[in-house]
Structure 1
């Protein structure tokens, strides 16, 4: 008995997978299809296809995966299977409804993929009057967006993303308020990627002077920022530009904290020491400068401007008195 391995599909749907059926007698490809779907060949197969379905084309191949040859539905099935191959694929004509459904499904897949790869940014409440710190925070959000980065979901952006933005803003603001140039002066170099966010804090606008760094306060900011370099969202490809630089920034801060702590320990040790840093003779020495017999008009005018500057100067503003110092005090 001759056999044929048959498959029936309609569009992208497989209605009848590869299944071997017997060829009972001489017949055409079309007649074989009619008998097959009417269960006259293999009654045990429940093929959900009616004989009214229109055959778009028929393909025959030597193996299920080899190149198929299109054949006419009027050809003799026995002759074809003997000469070409026993793998027979009926491709049925798709109706308009199915074509629309396929198109709709394709559009749905595209929308799902677009949603899948859509990145989200954290949102913050906005006020009409934005202060410098709020502007810094908003600029950091725009900065992340400009690098094509974001968080995979809106929820993630408004939780982990928002927490990261706030932590980074607070750290940068604290360093800037206490003068980030002090780090540079001591060879603790902030990564260039972050430099655009410094030199924005101006304590004088708050009627304050720049306070010295506090190792404990800076350490709190560092500890708040450090965990973000290992979170799953920053390990994504779209944050490759930030991950290592952020890690470098945290290391710089950490090293500066060690410097501040070491400096604080030395100061505490000196204060606790019973041995004075300066000898009694050094502490009680009085240096007598050249006797001032007469104030010249030039000096009088010169120091008058200094006197007026000190009178009018706000308490937190520094003043440079180097030009008023004597070049040779002796």
Structure 2
């Protein structure tokens, strides 16, 4: 990586109120950027219009300002850059490694249940979801065109095996300064195949998390990705897309998660751990920082 000014980012989705886990990630990015003489960017990941709402975006700004954070302007909103994701998808399509797929979640679940009923073990991704069956992977050009023209809901999926085949013999890796689920750091060998044929775009949503975050990090010049450990395994997909699209490779740091009393990672639906709730209860920003450091 060339010697350049470090650039960090915090990229929440405005689909709920920020909680202590978000506070940890935002503070780490902000404070590390400032200590390194770098930039701290704020990105609003608002592609999902069914869940993202303006009032939650306003609350994000209020919570972060209250915590004493400041960021570069302008704020990037994914909804304002859909053409960038479409261009990236078109490039992947030109490589022959994406295909339209119309199986619904219910149909996938039924296919998995049928296979497991006869004793087959169905592979699952690192998050525990069954891999896509892939029946449409070998569809003809005419069948794909018919699907797109039919008006049926469909997704563009990455043909994972074909995509990996374009990488050559060199191992796909990333540099990790945090820690994975088992404490691993240093040079990590990526395993994108573990995710199967991931979704890159849907007919009702112009980009998936995997595609948009990869494109955004490159276009914003992000040099350091600091985020929760729950996204550690997703880095394999992001490194694959970076390699395919010729995008720069950031350094990665996956930090610990802030867990609730039940031992699970926090959810935006749990208002008791919301930053706004602490503010309303009379706590100070220093109190919140003390809870997450």
TM-score above 0.5: no
TM-score scaled by length of structure 2 = 0.19
TM-score scaled by length of structure 1 = 0.17
Q: Which structure has more helix as a fraction of its residues? A: 1
